[in-house]
Structure 1
Amino acid sequence: MGRYTFNLPDIGEGIAEAEIVEWHVKLGDMVEEDQQIADMMTDKATVEMEAPATGKIVEMAGEAGDTVSIGSMLVVIETEGEVEDDGHGSAERVDDQPADREGVAEAADAGPGMDVATVAAEDPGVQDNQVDTPRTEVSPKDGASIPAKEADGAPAKGGDDRHTPSDSAKPAERILASPAVRKRAEELGVDLADVKHQGEHVRHGDLDAYLNYGGAQGYRPAGASAKREDEAIKVIGMRRKIAQNMAASKRAIPHFTYVEELDVTALEDLRADLNKTRGAKPKLTVLPLLIVAIAKTIPDFPMINARYDDEGGVVTRHGAIHLGMAAQTDKGLTVPVIRNAQDRNVWQLASEIDRLANAARDGSIKADELQGATLTLTSLGPLGGIATTPVINKPEVAIIGPNKIVERPAFVDGVLEARKLMNLSISCDHRVVDGWDAASFVQALKKLVETPVLLFAD
């Protein structure tokens, strides 16, 4: 029998450690070679770790949310035979358990699902040392606590017939409740027999409903949802990265947000016409058209497409537009990057948006597709609201947020018409971008959007 120590390999990007996002195994599990055992996160990319050998998991580095240094032990696998070192771990031979320790080994193999009481039930010799703690019940008549076995008419363990209650003292019905609920009811002078409850036990929520509605308990208003228990969720993985990045952005960057209303009636008409003749091309949303407008506007406002190095005190105005596209996934917000957006037409942009969004949602997106953005576009689609104040993706200096398109009456050359309107938000780093610059950029963008033929003019 051997033991293989699998150390966390160098998974690129020049990182020193990775976070355990999720374990797919637990102590005592048998695993096959190449079976997925854990998900590890670096920056915003998640990497799957696979078992290097077949055997039993006997040691693990930590729990979800812990960090593991590159080269440190991730898991130890107990194998049947010798294991060849693959460069990411070390193998050693381990003698079998001595005969006089077989009982201890069997108890250890029982795993976390077997407790002392279970072992005792299988070994009569252990039962003599158990302490029998009788379950406590409450009489609905007077609230007095009596041992459960006494309530059944049988003497409690360790007692005799003198302590057995008479038949007249037996409760007509047992009321199940936790000690905390019983104590609270006693302090409030409430008879638990009068409290309606939906489950087998009277809970704090049932007691609250009884108190809130004067004891009448007609007792939850129609349509009201039941009270839920508090839930503690550990902030790990992508959610932790999002929290860290957003907090760093708000601490370091003095944000300001500028909002302007755009008339997108003509743009929407153009989009509808393009979709009618698209053939095998992807269906256009407003985003590819908006990206073309941004790409045509940026050359006159290079301070918008920039990154700010706080420590070096250097602002780099980028010639290429590597546009980050904020995408919502089940694990949180990711920002895939459209490389060289200025060189793509609307159909190419639509295809790349679909590809990156799908890759972000199914977890197949690559680490380098999440890095290097020079400007970010964030959209909530139909949930866009009236206006947003998006948070800048540090070290970028601006983020653009189109909002929901709504149809409203508006005056056009003195005539009231139904128009499709959309608010556009831009948040900027005030250390790099002045308010005049941001407003001028949006006004130039507005001209292109409201006269969409200019999007295709040289």
Structure 2
Amino acid sequence: MADIKTFYLPDLGEGLPDATIVEWLVQVGGTVKLDEPMVSMETAKAVVEVPSPFSGKLVKVHGDAGDIIVTGAALAEFELDPKLPQRAEAESTGHHHAPPPKTAATDAPTKGAGSEAPDHKGVVASDEGGEIVSGGKAPRADEGTVVGAMQSSDRVHAEQATSVGGVKAVPAVRALAKKLGVDLARVTPSGAGSVVTLQDVKSAAAAGTARIGTAPVGATSAAVDRPGSKNAAAEAAPTGTTAQQRTTLSAAGKPMRTTPPTVSATGQPEQLKGVRRNMARVMAAAHAAVVPTTLCDDADIHAWLPGNDITGRLVRAIVRACKAVPALNAWFDGDNLTRTMHPHVDIGIAVDTDDGLFVPALRNADMLDAIGVRAAVNRLRAQVEERSIPSTELSGYTISLSNFGVFAGRYATPVVVPPCVAIIAAGKGRHQMTPVMGGFESHRVIPLSLTFDHRAATGGEAARFLKVMLDDLALAQ
């Protein structure tokens, strides 16, 4: 009998509860050697290649590209090849190949997020990413996330099937149908209670019988003839009704919005993945944990000489304000009511991407000159865009900066992510009329917004912090 080994998704060293499959580098049935790249996975911080823990044939995978796999859930199965080198059983790999422990509630291993429930009525999904327990140890601490610290949880729920347009399906099935271009109304359901399952969508996509935008295939399709579907309603309409007789008026003669029967519904739920998935968790936790207050003012930069770098000047102003008012360059522990003020200044620079928000740390900003700040910021942005930034550079900052004004917007109420106490946001620069001796002048200003956790700092401290920034930005250079 062949020796089959199951490989369970390791922690990947990121401290995050799940990862998304980007691409399988080895196809089912293919042979892979020990430590060769097997699959690329996307976490909230980077796309990483996961090496094969065995040498042999890949006989089964537990997810396709785009699927979310919970840390500790089964990822792949191998048929070992005794002729190829294998890692000794006692040799540490840094990965966990054993199945996750069973729980008293389910008595079954943790499943990958988005995997189909046995009764086809729901999809097993992680409420807050899941928690992998090992040997009765306490829950593992977060290793630093894209936008701050995040707690893990072992709460799991099953997403229930909902009926939209006469079609019963869970959100994950609807998201898959949208991704594959499948019209759910034309898919034959096989699940209990006429629920469309993941396999139904995949089969329809492979057969090409339910593509969005194609003409109906006729009355032989069970999905088309399902009671409550658009085509069934059309067949039940009076014989004399035609497309030319449709009207924008109701029976009472009042205007109403109509939709042609051939137009498919859009905006189906799509499961968040990678960076956006983690950002949603962290922002929700921050909103629940912080008592935020925001101060706003305009920095007059009329005296600036040519060549001033806006980001560099903002960083310098923050550093000087942190030295003058250290209460905002601090971490606050709301559970124990303790505050840690830092002698150094590490600024988290918010970087917006199509995948979501990254906040890399500009380390030792208080030791850098203008040229050093610009070089460091450019390096961090490049690493974020390439998704090559180390996870250690996405946490541990002491205060944050969001320069959203490069796009649009004047003032904001940026989110303070614990354990930090404050975040500064710079809006879009503009010109305004400023009174001077003998009249008025047009001065350029930068709007600033300072949000701080009012549990850890007073309004007076925040106001003095902002005043130091305004005074420094008003200097010529």
- TM bucket (normalised to shorter chain) is 0.5 to 0.7
Say how many residue pairs are matched: 345
Distance 2:202 2:411 in 1: 56
What's the CA shift string for 1:291-312, capped at 9, x where partnerless?
Answer: 1111122111000100011233
Asked if the contact 2:9–2:70 (Cα under 8 Å) also holds between the matched residues in 1, the reply is no
| TM-score, scaled to structure 2 | 0.63
1:180-191 matches, within 5 Å, as 180-185=229-234, 189=238
Asked if the contact 2:4–2:77 (Cα under 8 Å) also holds between the matched residues in 1, the reply is yes
Deviation at 1:47, TM superposition (A): 3.6
Larger Rg: 1
Deviation at 1:37, TM superposition (A): 0.8
1:34-433 matches, within 5 Å, as 34-39=36-41, 41=43, 44=45, 47-52=48-53, 53=55, 55-60=57-62, 64-69=67-72, 73-78=74-79, 82-86=83-87, 87=91, 88=93, 136=218, 180-185=229-234, 189=238, 193-195=242-244, 210-212=246-248, 229-267=266-304, 270=305, 272-273=306-307, 284=309, 286-433=310-457
Q: 1:434 aligns with which of 458, 469, 472?
A: 458
Asked if the contact 2:45–2:387 (Cα under 8 Å) also holds between the matched residues in 1, the reply is no
CA RMSD of aligned residues (A): 3.8
Aligned to 2:152: none
**Residues 1:195 and 1:178: Cα distance change in structure 2 (over 3 Å):** farther
Deviation at 1:335, TM superposition (A): 0.5
Distance 1:230 1:289 in 2: 42
Asked if the contact 2:411–2:449 (Cα under 8 Å) also holds between the matched residues in 1, the reply is yes
Distance 1:260 1:444 in 2: 12
Distance 1:414 1:48 in 2: 67
Q: Which runs of 5+ in 1 are unaligned?
A: 92-110, 120-133, 138-146, 149-175, 197-209, 275-283, 454-458
Matched to 1:20, the amino acid is: A
Deviation at 1:18, TM superposition (A): 4.0
Matched to 1:194, the amino acid is: A
**Residues 1:113 and 1:407: Cα distance change in structure 2 (over 3 Å):** closer
Q: Which runs of 5+ in 2 are unaligned?
A: 99-198, 208-215
What's the CA shift string for 1:334-392, capped at 9, x where partnerless?
Answer: 10001110000011101111110111121000011111110000111332412111000
Aligned to 2:20: 21
Asked if the contact 1:260–1:424 (Cα under 8 Å) also holds between the matched residues in 2, the reply is yes
| TM-score, scaled to structure 1 | 0.65
- Does residue 30 of the first structure (1) align with residue 67 of the second (2)? no
**Residues 1:331 and 1:188: Cα distance change in structure 2 (over 3 Å):** same
- Does residue 443 of the first structure (1) align with residue 467 of the second (2)? yes
Distance 1:413 1:399 in 2: 35
Asked if the contact 2:45–2:391 (Cα under 8 Å) also holds between the matched residues in 1, the reply is yes
**Residues 1:412 and 1:64: Cα distance change in structure 2 (over 3 Å):** farther
What's the CA shift string for 1:417-453, capped at 9, x where partnerless?
Answer: 2221221001000001111211121112111111234
Distance 2:446 2:276 in 1: 30
SS of equivalent to 1:238: helix
Aligned to 2:182: none
Asked if the contact 1:2–1:81 (Cα under 8 Å) also holds between the matched residues in 2, the reply is no
Distance 1:46 1:421 in 2: 40
